[in-house]
Amino acid sequence: MDRAEKLVLGMASALLVVFLSATVFAVARLDITLPTCFTEMEPFDEGEVIEHSEDWYEVHYLAAMWFFEPEELEVPAGATVDLYLTSDDVLHGFQILGTDVNLMAVPGTVNYKRVTFDEPGEYRIVCHEFCGIDHHWMAATITVAER
């Protein structure tokens, strides 16, 4: 192995350590959660909103050509929402604009992300993965109401 190869290998290893450290720091110190895929949970065939308490909601989002179900959701500011996402047909994207929520809806699996909506307003959900001819119409809304 010549000197240039050793240098490139060393730089790649150092970058790997930096990126891994940044991920650990983000999760531990900045309270940023990573999306999770549940393989033991059966995919659902319809969307559902479950209100566990005034401050905690569980939402089962179903992505299908070319809609999200539920299409509209209203929660109070400060509420924690557990999002469960699956697809009924093909691969779909699920991005809540203005937040860090960016998931993939994969047929046969359930993806999960917990999010807290602190700011009142309207949050638009869009599909960011091309899923067919009417992909550009695929959207939903989360309304966060003031307390």
How many Cβ atoms sit within 10 Å of the Cβ of residue 88? 17
pLDDT at 10 over 90: yes
| d(C-alpha 52, C-alpha 59), whole Å | 10
Q: What is the pLDDT of residues 23-72, one digit of tens each?
A: 888 888 887 777 778 777 888 999 999 999 999 999 999 999 999 999 99
| d(C-alpha 103, C-alpha 37), whole Å | 10
Q: What is the pLDDT of residues 86-113, one digit of tens each?
A: 999 999 999 999 998 999 999 999 999 9
* The pTM of the whole model exceeds 0.85: no
What percent of the chain stands above pLDDT 70? 99
